[in-house]
Structure formats: structure tokens, C-alpha cells
Chains A and B, each alone.
Chain A
Amino acid sequence: MSTWYVAGDKTAVFNTTTETSLISSTPVVQAIPANEVVVGTSFHFSMLGAYKTTLVPPTLRLRVKLGSTLLLDTTALTPPEANAGDGYFELLGDVSFRTLGAAGSVAAYGHVLFVRGPLAADLSVFRMPLATTPTVDTTTAQTPVVTVQWGTASNDNNITAQYFTIELLGAT
């Protein structure tokens, strides 16, 4: 396992309903070069951070992409209310290349969990399924992307990625 990317700073998204990147620009995440991956090459995404909501939590949507290709998607979910700013979230995802080429395919699985207290009711886990197998062009460079989109714009609806890493798992 090799470290593909480690964010050098936190990234916060709040007071907007526009889909916005949660990846820091320090440093800029490096793209997966064209024609470099082989069948079995895998990437593990791990993002941890804090979140806060209004008293009535809005919907929230997290997406993982390669370039513009959607790999993982929570769709619109409602996280546990965290108006006190004590919410914590963790996104885990794995992407593995199955076939190569302009119409290459990947297997992608992941989930995101939200925790705001010690009770079971304070924990929510959401899958990030896709209806179809993503098609990724491995003959061109592909840049990893993680985005968030709030359902309601408010300064209280704030999600901050404190840690984000991408690890490369080479094929055996």
C-alpha cells in the first residue's frame, strides 16, 4: 500500500447548495495517469471530519468520482441533527479497476457514517450504491474527486473534511 495523496489542510463547505469539492487544494490531488493502471489496481479513499446542522437537519449528498465519472453516491440523505457542532463523519470507499481501455470498468464500494453522540440513535450509516457499473476511460488521466452538496444553505450546515487520504493498492 502506497500513499497516493494526503491532504495538507482541512476543507469546509457551508452556506451553499452547490455541489462543492471536499478535497483540499494543498497539495493538489494528483491524477491517475493515462494507461498506467492494470487490472486489479485499486484505490482506497478515507475521509474523516466534523459536521454541524441546523436544528432541523437538511439533506446532504456525498459523491466520489474519477474525473466526471460518478463512482460512489449517497444520494440525498438526512444526517443526525448536530446543531451543537458535535457531529463526526467518516467516508470510506474502495475502487478497483476490472477492465481497461476507453470503456474500462471499475468496481466501487463505499459508505459514510455520521456520529453525533454515544447513543445508538446518534449513529447513522449510509451506503453509497450505484445502479450501474461505472465506466472509466483508463486511456486518459483521471483525477479523484469527492464532493458534498447540502439541501439547504446555512452557516450552520457545515461539513469539514479534516483528514483525507487516497492509498494505492497495486495489483498482485
Chain B
Amino acid sequence: MSHIDNPTPSGAGSFQPLDADLTAIAALPGTGLLARIAADTWALRTMVPPVAGMTIVNPGGVGGSPTFLLQHDLLALENVVGTGFAARVDVDDWLLRTLVAPAAGLTIANPGGVLGDPTFALANDLAALEGLATTGIAVRTALDAWATRTLVAPAAGITIANPAGLAGDPVFSLANDLAALEALAITGFAARTAADAWALRTLTGSSTVNITNGAGVAGDPVFSVLAGGIDHGALGGLGDDDHLGYLRLVGRAGGQTQNGGTTAADNMTINANSAAFAPANTGRILLGERAQLLPFSFSLGANILNALELPSSAVYTHDNAGSLLRGYQFAGEMRYTATPAFGLPGAFFNFASTIRAITSPLTMAPVPVFGSGPAYLADGVLFTMSDALGGFVDGPTFSIVNAGTFTGIYNGITSLMTLNAGAALTARRVLNILDATGAGTLTTQIAIRIADLTKGGLNLSLVSVGAGVQMRHAGQAVFGANAAPTNASVGLEVQSTTRALLLSRMTTAQRDAMTPVNGMVILNTTAGAVQARVAGAWVGL
């Protein structure tokens, strides 16, 4: 073709000239979409859809406009309704999803991504863990609260390496006694032999005691007494079940009672020695020999008629080595509460009939020997003693009963204070008058006259040891001289040219601890001044 059959005007009075492009297009042999692939070069093209997701109807535009149709995944995505994250749940199947936080520990802001990026935030326990600032083992201390801890070993017995778990796992090691126990290699009872030292022991029996399972390995150790161990028959001279001479009180709750017979002739006899062996100086029967450990009490029953029956002799005799009654530090009382029925004159005790009771403790060591002659109590003589006497401790208490009369105490004391050569008076309490009690009448005034105590180590004639004892005197008093008061108005006077009145000396604190009364005068050693209580206050003089 050399010209255009139907030229198209391109401008007023002009036509598009035939060029190479048109010539190339005219030369195309088929149908389809035109594509200029180079200068003056054209080719026919057809739209080719992808393998999946899209199809094209009329791809070459021959039958009409090319039409794109979605399919498969793209079609499913397009059909999703709503907002959120798209999730492919199957082949060509998509659904919307939203990030869902757990019930606790994590929160998500904008979980569907609609308003922005989803943002995760820690909460509760996870937030507390994240907030820990120190190192160590994490411990949940309360709801949503955590703290770091370090394993702490006891003072001894266990050590812990890496207790906080920082450099590795905490490792426990035994130490001291526990380590020694763990190191024991054999079986038996563990015995601590020294600090951090243990050894295994085994209970071992003897010829009379058998022990099974002495090491306790197979069960509890069991003790059994071997035949002949405590069998009565094994003891010399005794047969089985022969309890003569046995009193086994040890371990018996409530003690043990040894009953005698049931008739008058069934006496219970305790011999210090066997009848077959009776030397001149035999042994004694001792009661309460261990009384130094616990108080010993020897009690007689209420129906005792003759508690102590002496040999049938009018006068009890003894050799020089023994005595009828002997006691050391005897703190009780020897008391007779009824009319005494002592023996006739010349017997061991012989009291006049007016003496009704001895109620004061007597402490005598060595054993006193009463008079070489009749030892009764005569008027004015408390005791007549002819031998060494250890001394009286606390004088006797006299009780006047049954309207009796007691006289001559002055002479009696004078007699007591006569110390013969070789005698010793160890108690300086010359006269101890406790009180005069009872319904009787005291007709003789008590007067005490004390001369110089030339034998006394102390120059105190009267001593009161009770803090609550009061000394009262209604009349005038003169100290320092055996002289009358200066005049009738003197209450308390110190008469001396060599001695002076000595005030109470005390500190301020001691002064203030008193209950003060106006008129008191003291020497205050804190203030270094004589002070008097005046107008309710302490003033210096």
C-alpha cells in the first residue's frame, strides 16, 4: 500500500502523513492490544492474568474491554467485612483477627491495629518482676509483688555456695556436726564425741545384762537380765523368793511399807548384826544417814505407847563412847505436852514437878553431861553443869502456866555468868527477853543493870537487830555520863567533855527518800552541810 485510502485531517487543510508507525501497525497480522515496543515497531499483546487470584475476560480486547475478576485469596480478602488483622485460615479463606491479651500479666493497646500499632505492656506479676532492681532469687511475696532473696545458711551445719543464684545454681554443703554425721561409715548410735565430731556406738551388755540389737540397726535395743543377775537365789545364803532383809525402795512410787505381824507376839526386829556374831562393840542401826542430802524425818505413829524403851535398869548407863541421845545441829524441838513422867531421882532426866514443858530447841555439842549428882532443877538454878559445855544457842523460853510463880531470874542469870576456868561462853546474848505474854500478872519490874563487860569483844551492852524494833522511853534520857539530866526540861541529853552528838549522815538522795518532818536535823554529805527540816523544806544551818 502506497497511500492512505481514508486519510484523517490532522489540522486545518492538512492530513497525517503516512509514517513508519502506521506502516508497522498496518502490517500486523492478527488481533489484540497494540503495544509500541520500539521506534516504528508495534506488536500485538494480550493481558495475561497471574497464576491465581485473578482472571481477565477478553484479555486481548477483541470481544470487548478486558475485565479483571478477583478469585481465590484475593477474592476472600475482598469479601472480608470489618476491621482488624487478616488471617488466612484455609485455602482461599480469610478471617479478621484481634490480638487478645492474657487475663493478667500483659495488656495490649490497639489490639486490632485499627488506630495504630498494637502496643504490649507488662502488668501484675510480670510488671513486678520487670521492676526488680536487685539480683537474687525471685520470690512472690504477695499478689503482684516480687522480691529478690538470697538463701541464708544457718550459723553452723550447712553452707550454701552461690546463695543468690547469680553465678549458677545454689549448692548446699553440710558442715560441722551434720557433715560429721553424714560422713559416718558404719551403723550404730551416734554419739557426739567433741565439737563437730561424731562416732557410732553400740550398747554392750555384761555378764548379767544382755542387750539385743545393741546398735539399734534392726530395731530398738532390748535389755534383759541374764539368769543370776538379780536373782535372789544367786545371793549368798538366800533362796529364791526369800525377801528376808530386802527393802528395795529405789524407784518405788510412794515408798514401801514393811509390815510386821498381826498378833502381839509378832514383833519386828531389826538387828545391827547377826545373832551369830556379837562382838563387844558391834555396829549401830542408823536411820537417815543421808539426811544431809534431804531432810530426814523419823516419825512415830499416833498409837505409840513407849517410843523409846531403855534396858530394864533404874539408871541408864553407857560407856564413854556412846550416849542415849546424840544429835548434831538438831533444829527441832524436844517437847512434852502432857505431864512428864520421867523417872525417879537419879534417872537420866529428872525434872521437878513444876516444870511442865521444854519448848525451846537445845543445841548441844559435844554431848552434855548433866550433873554428877541429882540433876533436877532447883530454885534459882537453870542447869547445873560439871563438864565442858559447847554453849547455849538462844536461851530457853520460860512459860508460866497454871497460875505458877517464877522467881529468882536475877540470881539465875548471875549463876550462869560465872565462867569457871577453862569454860567458854560463846553466845553474848546474856538475856533475851522476848515478851511477857499470857493472862498472868507481871508484878516484878524488869530492870537490867549491866556493868562493864570485861570479857566482851565489843562494847555494846544492848543490841537490837530487828529493823522494826522501836526503843521507847517516856522519861528523860542521858547519854555519855552516869548523871542526872541538866534540868527537868531536858528530854535527851549528851553529857560528855570527850564525846559529842553524831547526827545521821546521808546523801541528798538518801535524805529525799525519807518521809521528812519539820525538826529533823542531818549532816548532808552531798552538800557538806548540816541541814534541818524547817517550813517543809531542808535548810542549811
A interface with B by C-beta (< 8 Å): 2-4, 6, 30-34, 36-37, 41, 168, 170
Contacts and interface: CB of A to CB of B under 8 A. Distances in A.
The 3 closest A-B pairs by CB, nearest first: A33-B536, A3-B540, A36-B536
B325 interface: no
29 contacts: A2-B532, A2-B539, A2-B540, A2-B541, A3-B529, A3-B539, A3-B540, A3-B541, A4-B537, A4-B539, A30-B537, A31-B537, A32-B535, A32-B536, A32-B537, A33-B535, A33-B536, A33-B537, A34-B536, A36-B518, A36-B535, A36-B536, A36-B537, A37-B535, A41-B535, A168-B534, A168-B535, A170-B534, A170-B535
Most chain A CB inside 10 Å of its own CB: which residue of B518, B539, B541: B539
Contacts of A32: 535-537
Contacts of B539: 2-4, 168
Contacts of A2: 532, 534, 539-541
A5 B322 CA distance: 76
Nearest to A3: B540
Contacts of A31: 537
Query: A-side binding surface: helix, strand, loop or mixed?
Result: loop
A1 B265 CA distance: 96
A95 to B, nearest CB: 13
Chain A CB within 10 Å, residue with most, of B518, B534, B536, B538: B536
Contacts of B537: 4, 30-33, 36
B328 to A, nearest CB: 59
A37 B532 CA distance: 16
Interface of B: 518, 529, 532, 534-541
B503 to A, nearest CB: 16
Contacts of B529: 3
A170 B519 CA distance: 13
Contacts of A34: 536
A6 B535 CA distance: 17
Contacts of B540: 2-3, 6
A119 B532 CA distance: 44
Nearest to B508: A27
A168 B534 CA distance: 9
Contacts of A37: 535
B528 to A, nearest CB: 11
A59 B541 CA distance: 39
B248 to A, nearest CB: 75
Contacts of A168: 534-535, 539
A170 B537 CA distance: 13
A166 to B, nearest CB: 10
A32 B539 CA distance: 11
Contacts of B518: 36
A21 to B, nearest CB: 19
A1 B518 CA distance: 16
Contacts of B538: 30
A71 to B, nearest CB: 18
Given A4-B537, A31-B537, A168-B539, 7 more contacts: A2-B539, A2-B541, A3-B529, A32-B536, A34-B536, A36-B535, A36-B537
Nearest to B529: A3
Nearest to B541: A2
A139 to B, nearest CB: 13
A49 to B, nearest CB: 21
Most buried by B among A2, A31, A32, A36: A2
Contacts of B532: 2
Nearest to B532: A2
Nearest to A166: B539
A30 B518 CA distance: 15
A73 to B, nearest CB: 25
A32 B534 CA distance: 10
A30 B537 CA distance: 8
A148 B432 CA distance: 67
B144 to A, nearest CB: 57
Nearest to A168: B539
A2 B521 CA distance: 13
Contacts of A41: 535
A132 to B, nearest CB: 26
Nearest to A41: B535
Contacts of B541: 2-3
Nearest to B535: A36
A120 B535 CA distance: 42
B521 to A, nearest CB: 11
Nearest to A6: B540
A168 B537 CA distance: 10
Contacts of A170: 534-535
Question: Which of B534, B535, B540 gathers most chain A CB within 10 Å?
Answer: B535
B506 to A, nearest CB: 16
A136 to B, nearest CB: 14
Report which residue of A4, A31, A41 has the largest number of chain B beta carbons within 10 angstroms of its beta carbon.
Answer: A4
A4 B540 CA distance: 7
A31 B536 CA distance: 9
Contacts of B535: 32-33, 36-37, 41, 168, 170
A2 B539 CA distance: 6
Nearest to B538: A30
A34 B537 CA distance: 11
A163 to B, nearest CB: 15
A33 B532 CA distance: 15
Contacts of A33: 535-537
Nearest to A2: B539
